Structure 1
């Protein structure tokens, strides 16, 4: 069998079949990397809960200073004190960012619909805010008062994190090709574990943003390298990709459940960060991509990993026939292709290829804006964001299997057109919904 195999040229896929492409090793590696991806993905969406904005109003002396007794307020209810201290907005609800300079006692005797609140002087919340802690006892918003004139700071956190994700993809993506998928995965898990654990104890908002930037640097590389490490060891690719992508959906549902039971932002941050330390240690157990090792001129190490996989998959004969000469002769054509210097800019040389590349990049960007614009702003959809988070995970989990079936029946182009049409239609319908309907 060895002589026949050596005589017939084969690519890496055939070599992978030789050691087992769907065996015990692939199952173990898939489960391990699936858990890493499932635990890591919630860190992208953390600010949905750690930066949730609870109901709030200005702190007022007559209402919130419980150490001072006022004879003229002793018989008044909390609702009456609130009415004389906080003006109403256009929806006849207490203002969140302004208060009366002086208590408006006349409001206790006037119909609030007949009195013009603009006649009374108001001022910003110079003494701070009072927050409704029924859903969120503590968030970074309540920690550093990121409300009213400072509410844009909440968006800064997400911008900083996404900026880190962009830079990290470029930097660590190149380093993964240079030093290996497993090595960079381990270092990125360590970086994310350190930064997000320390973020739970950040003394200032600036320090918190800096640490989330570092977490952003590593998150996309962790998610990408877990994909690469299993995809480069498995066939068929479509089934493996679908299985790995469901880890993001289960991560969303996990985040919604944990946030419900752990509403304090520090606790939630730590519970999601501490497991990263464990996986950082055990990531050394993952098997490096033999494809990367072989085409990085580390044929002996690649051969060791192939033999290791053959042993786990109980392919004893395959392990015996694997030699450096066998691997080189089997991959001679791919070795020759690998010697050619290529650049990403070659995608832009051919006119038709340039058009396809630009079109797909535009589609990808449009989908990313729509997806992250929705998934990172769950609080705008309604109050029960815990349920929304779990439902989004369930919907995306279902949609991945639907997309896999459509891909098999309609092909790439047909399924792409259908799903893009449905996505655009959904966004248009949502645009014309009234704010009352969207806030249910």
Structure 2
């Protein structure tokens, strides 16, 4: 009986089969980037004021400026009040001009929204302004709750049903719920659909803004298990490159489609063919199915397998075993903290995308364009510097660059660079966590539980940014220092570059210490 690493060498560790698998799994990265970053546009706000068209019944030729001056009170700073209007009266227009109006009321006839940037959004369609403005934050909380529930649930499903079914099932339903969201008749159904949408999206990156980051991790756990030791970094890095492409395309879609329902429909797509992971099948005792997949991969790669290459099953473990092993416990705690810190910094950057002094479409395009060459360079970094040094350095440099924004007034270049480093760190972490843990722990529980830490960060990011009310530098200090600390802790982890993926805890603990230094 042969180990799975020996079998990969026999069937070809990066042949046509693996290339087709990699291309198929990269497509969801584009789709999921659409869903994640679409929220920046579908939930975008715009300027607004009370609907005061009642005054036009007496004089329909009033200009917009004169209409607002006569019907909307001004605040102490001289700006128009967005949530109050003068109470409608039966006076004629000349009396109103001469004496003015004094009694005010709420916006009893609704609001009028500026459509120069977006023709419609969640805010304008469901009137999430004034006393209902808090509901937008509630919707974002529901969004994050869907991600957290998906992280917990589908981690177990991936190990119960396999990578293929755990990814195909939500991707099939994603198409349904992306479409359903576009036809949501009210805010509450919209939030329900968004919860389900993000719950399903957890199996394939962002997605969608899902973001969807954990969805791709399941898929690329499957891809990485089919790749040889020299090509594993390519799977995750190429996925992130496609995510950058998705961001750029999303900026274009939002620029040309300014109605949120139509833009939502443009996101509906699915991808259904993903081969099962032979490593996962072996871990669940399904040896014959694993052997069939191995023979299929060998056939596609035009390789011949002999009987001696058939493989034997090994056992899988549950959550408590992750903490029973000192070495697995150390790996898990360090990577969870690192994942949390980079996600916190990344989301704090994204929440301020409209506050950097540039057009929101241009800023999103810049973010996407910097991601593409950045992740291509990341492939070289992983092979040239190794996983440990690359991961630790990107976290430390990203945190330091974030702290530098406190010393300069023009921060666009620093924010973009810091975001690139955090993106690199996320990509490297995807590769690193797959190589550190044995197959019996790889997705569930290791990646699944670590992803919870990754998903708690976006929930806390708005709270961290709100610390600005106490001191301008407080948010930056938090999301700048944490990556530096976690990056330093990552230096305690071993190097895994060009080493075989461990299948069991025993193989991991028996690995020679000097092997990881090559």
Q: Aligned partners of 1:248, 1:107: CA distance in 2, in Å?
A: 57
Give the deviation of 1:344 after TM superposition.
Answer: 3.4
- Equivalence map 1:63-212=2 (5 Å): 66=56, 68-70=57-59, 74=61, 77-89=63-75, 92-101=78-87, 122-212=104-194
Matched, 1:25 2:38: no
The alignment covers a number of residue pairs equal to 397
Query: 2: distance between equivalents of 1:185 and 1:353?
Result: 26
Report how far residue 129 of structure 1 moved: 0.8
Give me the whole-angstrom Cα distance separating, in 2, the residues matched to 1:367 and 1:136.
Answer: 31
Matches within 5 A, 1:304-383: 304-315=292-303, 317-318=304-305, 321=306, 323=307, 326-328=309-311, 331=312, 335=313, 338-339=314-315, 342-349=317-324, 354=329, 357-376=332-351, 378-382=353-357
Shift of 1:188: 0.6
In the aligned structure 2, how far is the partner of 1:437 from the partner of 1:19?
Answer: 48
* Matched residue SS, 1:138: coil
Give the aligned partner of residue 5 of structure 1. none
- The answer (yes or no) to whether the contact 2:50–2:82 under 8 Å persists in 1 is yes
5+ long unaligned stretches in structure 2: 205-215, 414-518
**In 1, distance between residues paired with 2:224 and 2:127?**
45
Match 2:286 to one of 277, 298, 315: 298
1:4 corresponds to: none
Superposed displacement of residue 362, structure 1: 2.3
The answer to whether structure 1 residue 386 and structure 2 residue 361 are counterparts is yes
Residues 333-382 of structure 1, C-alpha deviation per residue, up to 9 Å, x if partnerless? xx4xx33x634344444667645533432232122122123325533445
- The residue aligned with 1:234 is 227
The higher radius of gyration belongs to 1
1:403: how far off?
A: 3.8
Q: Deviations over 1:183-212 (max 9, x none)?
A: 121111122111121111111111110011
Q: 1:415 to 1:293 in 2, by over 3 A?
A: closer
Aligned equivalent of 2:266: 271
Shift of 1:421: 3.1
Asked if the contact 2:233/2:382 (under 8 Å) is kept, the reply is: no
Cα pair 1:57 1:95 within 8 Å, conserved: yes
Q: Which residue number in structure 2 is paired with residue 425 of structure 1?
A: 400
Distance 1:37 1:250 in 2: 9
Structure 1 pair 414–225 and aligned structure 2 pair: CA distance change class (3 A): closer
Q: Which residue of 2 aligns with 1:49?
A: 41
SS of alignment partner, residue 45 of structure 1? helix
- With the length of structure 2 as denominator, give the TM-score of the two structures: 0.69
Query: Residue 431 of structure 1: CA displacement?
Result: 5.4
The answer to whether the Cα contact below 8 Å between 1:379 and 1:385 also exists between their aligned partners in 2 is yes
Say if 1:59 and 1:129, in contact at 8 Å, map to a contact too: yes
CA contact (8 A) 1:139 1:265 kept: yes
Q: How far does the alpha carbon of each residue in 1:236-257 deviate from its partner, in whole angstroms, 9 at most, with x for none?
A: 2112221122222222112111
Q: Distance in 2 between matches of 1:92 and 1:247?
A: 48
Contact 1:38 1:247 in 2 (8 A): yes
TM-score (norm 1): 0.80
Q: Residue 251 of structure 2 corresponds to which residue in structure 1? A: 256
**Per-residue CA shift, 1:219-245, capped at 9, x if unaligned?**
121323321232121122112221122
Partner of 2:507: none
* Root mean square deviation, CA, Å: 3.2
SS in 1 for 2:203: helix
CA deviation after TM superposition for structure 1 residue 213, in Å = 0.6
Q: 2: distance between equivalents of 1:137 and 1:186?
A: 35
- Secondary structure of the 2:354 match is helix
Distance 1:129 1:50 in 2: 18
Instruction: Give me the whole-angstrom Cα distance separating, in 2, the residues matched to 1:366 and 1:358.
Output: 12
* Maintained 8 Å contact 2:150/2:198: yes
Does residue 39 of structure 1 match 2:31? Answer: yes
Counterpart-to-counterpart distance in 2, 1:47 and 1:128: 24
Residue 491 of structure 2 corresponds to none
CA contact (8 A) 1:47 1:158 kept: no
